[in-house]
Amino acid sequence: MAVKTLQEYYESLKELHPTTYILGEKVESPHEHPLIKHMVAGVAKTYDLAHDSEGKKYLVADSELIGEEVSRFVKFYRSRDDLIAKVRMLKFLTQRIGTCVMRCTGMDAINSVGVEAYNCDKKYGTTYYERLLDFVKLVQENDLVVFSGVTDVKGDRSLRPSEQKDPDMYLHVVDRNDDGIVVRGAKVHQTGSLCAHWGLIVPTREMREPDKDYATCFAVPVDAEGVIHVYGRGTLEARALGDCDLGNVAYGKFAPMVIFNDVFVPWERVFLCGEYEFAGPMVRNFGNYHRHSHGGCKCGVGDVLIGAAAAAAEYNGLSRVSHINSKLAEMIKTVEAIYGCSIAASVEAVSTESGIYMVDPVLSNTSKLYEGKELQEAIRLMIEIAGGMVADLPSDKDIEDPEIGPLLRKYLKGAEHVSVEDRVRLFRLIEKLAFESRDIVSNIHGAGSPETHRMTVLRNADIDAKKKLAKNLAGIKER
């Protein structure tokens, strides 16, 4: 049963009891909460599609580790084809879900940790890579969801972890014994932590010798003692509580804060502990992989933006208008550039010593830079095409009201062939695509802030070689 069904995924969640706070309440069954169930439904859809004849081609892969078919979400990237397949899978899924699928952070973390656990073992004779393989076997055999905890709360950004006034601003080891370690700290914006079974925790930045207690990486069940999930609010969510005016009626994204209140982690789940020089590469690998994942998932959402804009034009009676077609072409250009750079980053990938393939960092970060800036322009164009109705549609409850409803239906009519209900649904979706804080902000800050992407591009782009090209052509001799 290496690839679970939708039903088996829902059953597996019943065995979990994560400590959860949502809007001031301690919640016993978070997976059924009205603010969480749409998010769980998105992840459940990934299980469902793995058993669909078309979806299987994208979502199921052979595992060299357990010799069975497994979900691509829990597989090591053993080739360029694996990396290309990941981007295509994410595009396929987000075209159908229209928002985050919340399983790719774990997939990217497994691989980024794998590369550095292997390197660390080589340098120090540790056994982190073997432990990671055991963990990944468990994840593959049970087709589990893993969230990845990278981002610490970080306190004063100008200070290093060991310089902070409160030592818990970055997650760190506070105790250790023969059985394992005890960790304290908090990871913020943890996409899908409550849809997951395990968390894979990765350092958030490079570390130096005084920071070595902060250089730790480990796996922990989402309901381990001391792990606390606190729901983070997003735009438009109050509507989910009333179950109306939803926009994307089935799926959503969320990213709680996860607090580690003296959590015990047995040694067999610890993949880095004190070897500080591997913290930076681990998080940089994660960033490169994860920006590459965004190239797949955000272009799938981009296709939904384009489709929504074109449908809005049709519903407004403007199917064949040249300025609208030209704007649609601009949107397509951006979305395909994001996708194309991620595919190219896979094609140019190279094998690391562990046998895990690493994407081309310049191309994967270029894809993410396009997403951070140009996707916003595509969203603006979607709104420009759709019109002001995106901002302030009357509520579903008013439209259904026997008194005011008939008048609203009369005045909300667009093109003759389109029902008012469908027009309202489409505008709600556009509103959600344009203004849902977690989607919009993750275009910019998800997988790291844009400055990090620029720095990675510069660090890897070999500007000196490019200067040499220009000087050669200009006939300038190097002194």
Ligand X SMILES: Cc1cc2nc3c(=O)[nH]c(=O)nc-3n(C[C@H](O)[C@H](O)[C@H](O)COP(=O)(O)OP(=O)(O)OC[C@H]3O[C@@H](n4cnc5c(N)ncnc54)[C@H](O)[C@@H]3O)c2cc1C
Positions touching ligand X (CB under 6 A) are 105, 148-151, 154, 157-158, 187, 189-191, 255, 438, 441-442, 445-449, 451
Give the helix ranges, DSSP H, for 2-79. 6-14, 37-49, 53-59
- State how far the Cα of 193 lies from the Cα of 271, in Å rounded to an integer: 20
Closest to ligand X by CB, 142 or 437? 437
In one-letter notation, the amino acid at residue 324 is: I
In one-letter notation, the amino acid at residue 237 is: E
275 strand-pairing partners: none
Closest to ligand X by CB, 105 or 366? 105
172 strand-pairing partners: 184
Please state the closest distance from residue 445 (CB atom) to ligand X, in A: 4
Closest to ligand X by CB, 192 or 414? 192
- State how far the Cα of 59 lies from the Cα of 56, in Å rounded to an integer: 5
Token code pair at residue 261 = 């209140």
- State how far the Cα of 477 lies from the Cα of 474, in Å rounded to an integer: 9
Residue 479: C-alpha distances to residues 272, 462, 468, 472 (Å): 46, 19, 12, 12
In degrees and rounded to multiples of 5, residue 217 shows phi and psi of: -140, 135
How far is it between the farthest Cα atoms of the chain?
A: 85
Closest to ligand X by CB, 324 or 447? 447
Please state the closest distance from residue 188 (CB atom) to ligand X, in A: 7
Please state the closest distance from residue 193 (CB atom) to ligand X, in A: 8
Closest to ligand X by CB, 98 or 446? 446
CB 364 within 8 A of CB 453: no
Residue closest to 195 by CA, chosen among 91, 42, 55, 4: 42
200 strand-pairing partners: 148, 219
Please state the closest distance from residue 52 (CB atom) to ligand X, in A: 26
Closest to ligand X by CB, 189 or 368? 189
Closest to ligand X by CB, 187 or 428? 187
Please state the closest distance from residue 109 (CB atom) to ligand X, in A: 9
Please state the closest distance from residue 438 (CB atom) to ligand X, in A: 4
Please state the closest distance from residue 287 (CB atom) to ligand X, in A: 8
The beta-strand segments (E) located in 267-364 are 270-273, 350-351, 357-358
Please state the closest distance from residue 190 (CB atom) to ligand X, in A: 5
Closest to ligand X by CB, 449 or 472? 449
